[in-house]
Amino acid sequence: MSWQDALPTVRGRLLRDEPLAPFTWLRVGGPADVLFLPQDEADLADFLAALDTAVPVTLLGVGSNTLVRDGGVEGVVIRLGKAFATVEPRGGSRIFAGAAALDANLAREAAKAGIAGLEFYRGVPGSVGGALVMNAGCYGAETKDVLVEAYALDRAGRRLTLSNAELGYSYRKSARAAAEPLVFLGGLFEGRPDDPAAIMARMDEITARREQTQPIREKTGGSTFKNPPGQSSWKLIDEAGWRGKPFGGAMFSPLHANFLINTGEAAAADLEGLGEAVRADVHAKTGVELEWEIKRIGRPASA
């Protein structure tokens, strides 16, 4: 009997061979062996506790930083829904947000409650779960600056409360999340009091700036590579001649040279292949090793 025939009983939905491309911004890639959409936290915890520990588990937020390879994803992919998307002020400039809430929603609710400091989330098109893993941020602010603590389940379904320090944040990384498979349930954030209208005005500025400088209506994964210390990836890509150069159905955006875009019918292999070609070329020309910021998950098509 295969592991797929011995899945725990759930109250949510278990979908076999479910295409993942529609769940990602880049709109490429194959299916999940199994996609689990838990009903609520207890359903998720029970599932993790009962699932064979040999089965790999992968979390997907809203897929704004993920490239799913063409052969699909082995094991169980988990996507959190409405039951995990609560956003509510908790008093004293603190606000809770569930992992499935959009960052923009967290920013908006914080602004309405007169909590300043979270407006940068207006510029990040991901979910709170993705932000907790990626230490998402922009314009000089990041998750590390505003997070009090995060709530997660471990692979065995046990609930953990992790302080900001325990998450070991650095540039677009949590050392703790990289070391151990965690399912984030949400986070408690803290800002400072300010006038809601002034916060909203700052959020509007962020929206306008984004529209002008990033291809936010394209099929993209945001910044493809992390910025090497003291350097800008977009500049290295631009200077190596890759800005706007077509490569199958893939291209580094003419508007922002570090944004990889699917211009039409790209396969995941085209996008990843272009990224690798650019890494090799930039390395040959400058000696700089670009590091992927986009998470690439799954198997290549031939596997």
Ligand X SMILES: Cc1cc2nc3c(=O)[nH]c(=O)nc-3n(C[C@H](O)[C@H](O)[C@H](O)COP(=O)(O)OP(=O)(O)OC[C@H]3O[C@@H](n4cnc5c(N)ncnc54)[C@H](O)[C@@H]3O)c2cc1C
Closer residue to ligand X, CB minimum distance, 148 or 160: 160
List, in order, residues 6 or more apart from 107 with CB less than 8 Å away. 118, 119, 120, 121, 122, 203
Closer residue to ligand X, CB minimum distance, 130 or 298: 130
Closer residue to ligand X, CB minimum distance, 210 or 283: 210
- Cα dist from 282 to 231, 244, 294, whole Å: 13, 16, 17
Distance CA 272, CA 266 (A): 10
Helix, strand, coil tally for the chain in percent (to 5): 30, 30, 35
Distance CA 38, CA 65 (A): 22
Phi-psi map region of 72: left, alpha, beta (phi>0 left; psi -120 to 50 alpha): left
Distance CA 243, CA 192 (A): 40
Q: How far is the CB of 285 from ligand X (least distance, A)?
A: 26
Say which of 172, 176, 243, 279 is annotated catalytic. Answer: 172
Distance CA 259, CA 275 (A): 10
Query: Residues 181, 75, 270, 263: what is their CA dihedral angle, to the nearest 10 degrees?
Result: -80
Closer residue to ligand X, CB minimum distance, 31 or 123: 123
Say which of 223, 233, 272, 279 is annotated catalytic. Answer: 223
Whether residue 174 lies in the annotated active site: no
Distance CA 220, CA 110 (A): 27
- DSSP type of residue 22: G
Q: Which residues bind ligand X (CB under 6 A)?
A: 25, 58-66, 80, 99, 123-127, 129-131, 133-134, 136-138, 182-184, 214, 216, 220-222, 295
Closer residue to ligand X, CB minimum distance, 62 or 146: 62
Closer residue to ligand X, CB minimum distance, 27 or 112: 27
Whether residue 172 lies in the annotated active site: yes
Q: How far is the CB of 170 from ligand X (least distance, A)?
A: 13
Q: How far is the CB of 72 from ligand X (least distance, A)?
A: 15
Q: How far is the CB of 218 from ligand X (least distance, A)?
A: 8
Q: How far is the CB of 268 from ligand X (least distance, A)?
A: 14
Q: How far is the CB of 5 from ligand X (least distance, A)?
A: 26
What are residue 175's phi and psi, to 5 degrees?
-65, -35
Whether residue 69 lies in the annotated active site: no
Q: Give the three-class secondary structure for 173.
A: strand
- Give catalytic residues, as residue numbers: 172, 223, 293
